[in-house]
Structure 1
Amino acid sequence: MRKIFFVIFTFCVFMFFACSEEHKNDIAAAKAAKEYYDSLLAGNYAYFVRGMYLADTIPDGYREELEANAKMFVERVKEEHHGIREVRIMNCVNDTIHIEKTDKSVHAAEAFLVFCFGDSLNEEVVVPMVFHKNRWLMR
C-alpha cells in the first residue's frame, strides 16, 4: 500500500511541476498592434502607416494613399458602427523562423485584437506582425 501511495504521490508532484512551468505568452507584438490601431483611431494616420513593415522604403505618393485609405477606413467605421470605442488585446501567438544555411532568424507574431464598436458589436481581427530593427511592425 505504501508503494502505491508513494508512486501516486511522486506522479502528482511531477505533474504539478510540469504544469507550473507553463510558458507565458509574450504579448509585446499585440501591444504594438494595439498602439498602432489606437493611434489610427486618434487620427494619427501617418504613425499608423509608419507602423507597417518597410514603410520607410515606399514612395511618398503611395504613403499618402495609405494614409488616405486609413482615414477612409476610420470614417466608414464611424458611419457604419458609430466608430470603434476600444481596441482590446485578446491573444498573441509568436513564432521564430530560422533561415536555412544562415545564422539569421525572423521573429513573427499574430496579434489577435478585438474591435469594440460603438453599436455594441465586437469583431476579432488578426494582425500579422514582424520584428524588424528592434520593434514590432505590421505586415
Structure 2
Amino acid sequence: MKKLFYFFVALLVVACSSGPAPSDVAAQAAKEYYAQLLSGKYDHYVDGFYRPDSIPNNYRQQLIDNAKMFLAQQKNDRRGILDVRVVNAMADTAKRSANVFLLFAYGDSTSEEVVVPMVMHKGVWYMR
C-alpha cells in the first residue's frame, strides 16, 4: 500500500510541476491501476476508483471479488490479459477529467481498445 501511496505522491508532484501534460499523467495513472489488477493487487485496483465517501468493508470486498472474477473471465475467454498499453489520452483541465484509451493485448493474440474515464481529485487521478 505504501508503494501505491508513493506512486500517487509522485504523480501529484509531476502534475503540479510544469512537466508532462495532465493527459499524460492521467494515462500513466490508468495504466498503473490496470498493472495493479494484472499483478493480483486487487485492493489497489479497487482503491483506484473515485469515491467521494467511504464505503463499507463488505462492499469493498465485493468489489475486490468482482475484480478477481473479471480477470478469471478474461483468462477463460481470451487466455488472459498479457499487456496494457496507452493508446491516447485527452484531458479537460477545466473539468478535471480525462479519457484514457488503453489497448489490452490478450493471450489469444487478439486486442481490444477500452476507454477509461478519469477524474482528478486533490491532485490525484482516479478512475471513474
TM-score, length basis structure 2: 0.79
> In structure 2, do the counterparts of structure 1 residues 136 and 123 end up closer, same or farther at CA, with 3 Å as the change threshold?
same
Question: Which segments of structure 1 move beyond 4 Å, counting only runs of 4 or more?
Answer: none
Given that residues 112 and 125 in structure 1 are in contact (C-alpha distance below 8 angstroms), is that contact kept between their aligned partners in structure 2?
A: yes
Query: Does the residue aligned with 1:26 lie in a helix, a strand or coil?
Result: helix
Identify the match of residue 122 of structure 1 among 104, 108, 111: 111
Identify the match of residue 79 of structure 2 among 82, 100, 112: 82
Partner residue of 1:100?
none
Partner residue of 1:53?
50
Partner residue of 2:5?
none
> In structure 2, do the counterparts of structure 1 residues 75 and 56 end up closer, same or farther at CA, with 3 Å as the change threshold?
farther
Q: What is the CA distance between 1:55 and its match in structure 2?
A: 7.1
Partner residue of 1:29?
26
Partner residue of 1:136?
125
Partner residue of 2:6?
none
> In structure 2, do the counterparts of structure 1 residues 56 and 40 end up closer, same or farther at CA, with 3 Å as the change threshold?
farther
Partner residue of 2:99?
110
**For residues 86 and 51 of structure 1, what CA distance do their matches in structure 2 show?**
19
CA-to-partner distance for each residue in 1:33-80, whole Å, 9 max, x for gaps? 110001101100000010000176111111000000000000110111
Identify the match of residue 65 of structure 2 among 52, 55, 68: 68
**For residues 55 and 63 of structure 1, what CA distance do their matches in structure 2 show?**
14
Given that residues 36 and 42 in structure 2 are in contact (C-alpha distance below 8 angstroms), is that contact kept between their aligned partners in structure 1?
A: yes
The answer for unaligned runs of 5 or more in structure 1 is 1-23, 98-105
TM-score, length basis structure 1: 0.73
Q: What is the CA distance between 1:26 and its match in structure 2?
A: 3.2
Query: Does the residue aligned with 1:119 lie in a helix, a strand or coil?
Result: coil
RMSD after superposition: 1.5
Q: Which has the larger radius of gyration?
A: 1
Paired residues, what number? 108
Q: What is the CA distance between 1:133 and its match in structure 2?
A: 1.8
